[in-house]
């Protein structure tokens, strides 16, 4: 991948800042924070667009955002004064003209993303202060990047699920790096797009509630596809529409295999302190595994299944049921010896089930706990798409930047975990 270059610029890519606490407008309390964005796919591009259209920050800490670096699969740009809008536009156009090998576009990263001269760049970013590394890729192997960035005091915000489902010991090193430096590590966008699922779970756990079970339709993508099936749309067409809308992963096979939902289930379970690994999940794909091989074009494989899925959907409809893709987490009880169970797969549910009424790409999480024993705590809303996911990313960016040296101890505590 080409080394991001330092370029002279006249119109930096940034958002406006606000004025003083009292509204005097002299900017004495204003500050500009720096973003280094990895990936310019569906989510990354939307993040950049939302940054450019942010309203002036009129409430403390009056943070404006300046994009100092962007790395895509095809190249990048790095300028501590802010990447020029024209250069950024060229990068995005170049990416759009070079689709990924599977016929679509990726989230702006190969499977093995490597930052050129990484240590030097991270050192430069750390010297800037108030800098957030934003990962909008679907790249493998980002754990080391996060650890190196956090150890230098850089905040890290990610929409990439893969680093969070690495072996537990590896993930713990990321949180430990954040705890040592006082930097913030946030990942709300990894589960449920823009829905506040991670924050809700963290609030319950930190206030002493005990979660007993979680039932969730975590994939807005598969929710969209199964809803289209219920409407009589062929499977192949439903998947193609979801991909065109930006709902799917870079490779839709990950959605159809349930791998993406399994990753989300692991992230959710680990928020509860459950020592779960990805291989512990009982996983069933939406479509037969043989249809997801790479020896044949995916669309061709799916078209062969259109008739079978149409028959199954019609039979369910006649019984008053609907096909949905669910993740179920039943938390174990050490006293009774009951083990935690995590099951992910397609299920036929009655039409009065909460998930049966989900429309489009909506997602749902129902949490049963000691404080919510009968009527579960439900988080529901759009579960896929660039705009809502980018909103979660930028929300995490601003939450990270609210941190100051005065609350470093609190941030360090929030960053540490212990799995039971």
Could you give the residue numbers annotated as active site?
A: 264
Give the span between the Cα atoms of 112 and 64, in whole angstroms: 32
CB 336 within 8 A of CB 357: no
Give the span between the Cα atoms of 190 and 186, in whole angstroms: 9
Residue 281 DSSP one-character state: S
Residue with tokens 């310019």: 40
CB 147 within 8 A of CB 410: no
Residue 218, classified by CB atoms within 10 Å of its CB into exposed (0-12), middle (13-18) or buried (19+), is buried
Closest CA to 346 of 294, 402, 283, 409: 283
Give the span between the Cα atoms of 36 and 387, in whole angstroms: 19
Q: Look at strands 341-350 and 321-330 and give their pairing.
A: antiparallel
3-class DSSP assignment, residue 81? coil
Four-CA torsion 47, 401, 191, 195, nearest 10 degrees: -80
Four-CA torsion 94, 45, 27, 185, nearest 10 degrees: -120
**Between vectors from CA 347 to CA 344 and to CA 351, what angle results, nearest 5°?**
135
Instruction: Count the Cβ atoms, other than its own, within 10 Å of residue 333.
Output: 12
- DSSP for 5-61, written as a single string: BP---SSB-B------TTS--S-TT-EEEEEEEE--SHHHHHHHHHHHTPPP--STT
CB 328 within 8 A of CB 257: no
């Amino acid at each position: 991948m080409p080394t991001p270059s330092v370029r002279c610029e006249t119109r930096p890519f940034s958002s406006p800042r606000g004025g003083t606490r009292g509204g005097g407008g002299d900017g004495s309390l204003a500050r500009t924070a720096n973003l280094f964005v990895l990936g310019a796919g569906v989510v990354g591009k939307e993040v950049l667009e939302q940054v450019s259209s942010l309203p002036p920050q009129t409430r403390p800490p009056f943070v404006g955002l300046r994009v100092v670096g962007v790395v895509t699969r095809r190249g990048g740009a790095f300028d501590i004064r802010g990447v020029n809008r024209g250069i950024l536009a060229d990068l995005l156009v170049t990416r759009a003209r070079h689709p990924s090998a599977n016929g679509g576009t990726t989230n702006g990263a190969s499977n093995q993303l490597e930052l050129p001269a990484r240590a030097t760049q991270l050192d430069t970013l750390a010297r800037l202060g108030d800098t957030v590394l934003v990962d909008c890729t679907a790249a493998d192997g980002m754990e080391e990047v996060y650890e190196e960035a956090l150890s230098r005091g850089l905040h890290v915000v990610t929409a990439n699920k893969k680093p969070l489902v690495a072996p537990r010991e590896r993930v713990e090193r990321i949180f430990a790096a954040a705890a040592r430096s006082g930097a913030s590590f946030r990942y709300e966008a990894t589960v449920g797009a823009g829905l506040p699922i991670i924050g809700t779970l963290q609030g319950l756990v930190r206030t002493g509630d005990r979660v007993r079970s979680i039932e969730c339709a975590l994939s807005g993508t598969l929710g969209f596809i199964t809803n289209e099936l219920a409407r009589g749309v062929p499977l192949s067409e439903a998947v193609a529409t979801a991909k065109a809308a930006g709902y799917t992963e870079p490779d839709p096979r990950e959605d159809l295999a349930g791998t993406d939902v399994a990753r989300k289930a692991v992230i959710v379970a680990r928020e509860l302190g459950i020592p779960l690994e990805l291989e512990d999940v009982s996983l069933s794909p939406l479509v037969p595994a043989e249809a997801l091989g790479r020896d044949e074009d995916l669309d061709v494989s799916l078209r062969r299944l259109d008739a079978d899925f149409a028959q199954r959907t019609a039979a369910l409809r006649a019984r008053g049921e609907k096909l949905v893709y669910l993740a179920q987490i039943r938390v174990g009880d050490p006293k009774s010896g009951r083990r935690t169970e995590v099951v992910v797969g397609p299920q036929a549910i009655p039409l009065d089930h909460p998930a049966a009424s989900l429309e489009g790409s909506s997602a749902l999480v129902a949490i049963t706990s000691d404080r919510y024993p009968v009527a579960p705590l439900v988080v529901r809303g759009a579960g896929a798409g660039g705009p809502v996911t980018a909103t979660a990313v930028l929300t995490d960016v601003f939450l990270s930047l609210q941190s100051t040296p005065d609350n470093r101890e609190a941030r360090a505590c929030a960053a540490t975990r212990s799995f039971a």
